[in-house]
Amino acid sequence: MKIRLIVLAAAALVAGPVLASQDLANKKGCMGCHAVDKKLVGPSYKDVAAKYAKDKDAVTKLATKIKAGGSGVWGPIPMPANNVTPEEAKALATWVMATK
């Protein structure tokens, strides 16, 4: 019984930050154009994570793009600027890179 509780608590700790950013992505409307594992209007987050897996500046670059928008990396459709603070953009970029 005690062991079961510890396992549950550990699972909650691991899942916590990921869920927080999935929530944020929902709230900020990201999931209208993106999904974690399939392409919608924009690339899937897994594809993004795979593309930048070896890039140590990925979180900084993606945070900038999430906030300001941009185009030309994945296809002809641009991403508009999003209504996020720099901190939120960084949290979202960190979460995207963790979806791989």
Position of tokens 């945070």? 63
**In whole angstroms, how close is the CB of 57 to ligand HEC at the nearest point?**
12
24-38 b/e with 16+ CB inside 10 Å = b? ebeebebeeebbbee
Residue 34 binds to ligand HEC (criterion: CB under 6 A) = yes
Residue from 22, 90, 91, 92 binding ligand HEC (CB under 6 A): 92
Residue 82 binds to ligand HEC (criterion: CB under 6 A) = yes
Beta carbons within 10 angstroms of residue 73's beta carbon: 12
C-alpha–C-alpha distance, residues 16 and 36, integer Å: 17
Residue 32 binds to ligand HEC (criterion: CB under 6 A) = yes
Residue from 44, 64, 74, 99 binding ligand HEC (CB under 6 A): 74
Q: What is the dihedral of CA 70, 71, 73, 77, to 10 degrees?
A: 130
Binding site for ligand HEC (CB under 6 A): 25, 28-30, 32-34, 41-43, 48, 62, 65-66, 70-75, 77-80, 82, 84, 92, 96
